[in-house]
A = this chain, B = another copy of it.
Amino acid sequence: MVDLSRILAGPFASMILADMGADVIKVEEPILGDESRGFGPFKDGFSAYFISINRGKRSVTLNLKDRKGKEILKELVKRSDVLLENFRPGTMKRLGLDYDALKSVNPRLVYAACSGFGQTGPLSQNGAYDLIIQAMGGMMSITGEPGGAPVKVGASIADLTAALYTVIGILTALRVRDQTGVGQLVDVAMLDCQICILENAIARYVVANEIPGPIGSRHPSVTPFQAFPTRDEYLVVCIGNDRLWQRFCQAIRRPDLEKDPRFEVNARRNENYEVLRPILEEVFRSRPAEEWMKLLEREGIPCGPINTVDKVVSHPQIQAREMIAEIDHGSLGRIKMPAFPIKFSLTPGKVDRPAPRLGEHTEEVLVGLLGMSREEVAVLRQRKVI
């Protein structure tokens, strides 16, 4: 596939496809390349950010404003199943490389465009950052402490969700193409995807006419189901039903709470949340988190630690699932990053090739795939087309 995408949403999508075996040819602007090559943190001058979302791809530099550059892109498109781009809508048209132009070159092409607001609508031409989409799409309005300042999801969830939907769109369009012989345009907007993952927030508004706000770590309708501070660290406890509540009261040696009519069933506990919370906070403060978790797990009560990233990376379950890959990046040595999370029994994904240096595979692709001579490539390089 030809991948013109930069920064996050597009490259995250093409990384998933590369992990599953796609030959991703990342086409980058000569000289600077993907902007995220300049994003920290750095190691020996290489962006760890870039490296962690561009593994397994080949990099080809190409000036898409140059006539010859456009020609080469079309040659690549002729030989590709998929083209992915996440430019601001209109950019590809201005370059003469939009879907209408490219489908005449390759009618079987699946053309995926991932953008902030989509290819249509009044805001389609606006640029978008993850933060803006999290804010406009409602996610920030339901994340954070009640009455507190707005908080964003710690990771760029608007970009990443759009990436996952884009992969779904590409795979579906490929299957349709296998059956019909015809490709199509797949248009994915970060904002559209964001509202699809608001989950029950929309149902609550539409049906109960309630505008959901942020509620910290709590479940909106189940109690107790949240984070509690212990003597040392926080832990989360999920008392999902009344049977668990009874077991929980016994586990924490508070049979009085079990018998208290204010807390007898979930609906009552939820009503009396402000009474119950300080009581449980006092209970949990009496021991360290680890001790509580051993005690609760013994009774089969769902609970867990709030892991920082260092603990996540070394967690036994993450290790057992081989979810941290180590990729050899030549001069940088071995770099750890999240591995591929879909475990296929027959055709497992693989994460073994590092992210490319800018233009590392230009000659390989132009000579090997397009059949150019080394002399032609040298001329293109001199002319700054590549």
Best-buried of A127, A138, A305, A313 by chain B (most CB within 10 Å): A138
- A331 interface residue, CB < 8 Å from B? no
In the bound complex, CA of A205 to CA of B347 (Å):
31
A72 within 8 A of B: no
Q: Is A290 interfacial (CB-CB < 8 Å)? A: no
Cβ contact within 8 Å between B176 and A178: no
Are A323 and B208 in contact, CB atoms less than 8 angstroms apart? Answer: no
Bound CA–CA A123/B225 (angstroms): 21
Q: Determine whether the beta carbon of A343 is less than 8 Å from that of B171.
A: no
Q: Most chain-B Cβ atoms within 10 A of its Cβ — which of A8, A49, A171, A199?
A: A199
1/0 contact trace for A294-323 toward B, CB 8 Å?
000000001111111111110111101101
Using A131-B225, A140-B227, A143-B151 as known contacts, say yes or no to A16 and B207 having CB atoms under 8 A apart.
no
Determine how close the nearest CB of chain B comes to the CB of A54; give it in whole angstroms.
Answer: 12
Which residues of B are found within 8 Å of A221, using beta-carbon distances? Answer: 39-40
Residues of B within 8 A of A42 (CB): 207
Query: Known contacts A132-B303, A236-B131, A347-B184; is A217 also within 8 Å of B140 by CB?
Result: yes
- A80 at the B interface (CB under 8 A): no
Q: Choose from B128, B139, B151 the contact partner of A144 (Cβ within 8 Å).
A: B151
Stretch at the interface among A246-254, A333-341, A377-385: A333-341
- A226 and B131 within 8 A (CB): yes
A window 178-204: CB within 8 A of B: 178, 182, 184-189, 191-193, 195-204
Q: How many copies does the complex hold?
A: 2
Complex contact A176–B346 (CB within 8 A): yes
Please tell me if the beta carbons of A121 and B208 are within 8 angstroms of each other in the complex. Answer: no
A229 located at the interface, meaning its Cβ lies under 8 Å from any Cβ of chain B in the complex: yes
Cα-based distance from A141 to B139 in the complex (angstroms): 18
Whether A279 sits at the interface, judged by CB under 8 Å, is: no
Tally of A interface residues using CB under 8 Å: 136
| A41: chain B residues within 8 A (beta carbon) | 200, 203-204, 207-208, 210
Given contacts A192-B321, A202-B313, contact A141 B343 (CB under 8 A): no
Whether a CB of chain B sits under 8 angstroms from the CB of A369 is no
CA distance A141 to B130 in the complex (A): 19
**Any chain B CB within 8 A of the CB of A69?**
no
Question: Are B304 and A136 touching (Cβ within 8 A)?
Answer: yes
Residues of A within 8 A of B (CB): 8, 16, 20, 39-43, 48-49, 51-52, 99, 117-124, 126-129, 131-132, 135-145, 148-157, 160-161, 164-169, 171-176, 178, 182, 184-189, 191-193, 195-208, 210-217, 219, 221, 225-227, 229, 234-236, 238, 240, 302-313, 315-318, 320-321, 323, 335-338, 341-347
- 15 additional A-B pairs beyond A124-B317, A135-B236, A195-B338, beta carbons within 8 Å, are A16-B168, A20-B172, A41-B200, A41-B207, A43-B207, A118-B317, A144-B145, A155-B201, A164-B164, A165-B341, A184-B346, A185-B345, A198-B312, A198-B338, A205-B313
Selected A-B contacts with CB under 8 Å, 20 pairs: A49-B203, A52-B200, A121-B317, A127-B302, A129-B225, A135-B227, A136-B315, A138-B309, A138-B312, A142-B155, A150-B217, A150-B227, A151-B214, A154-B212, A155-B201, A173-B347, A178-B178, A184-B344, A187-B344, A189-B321
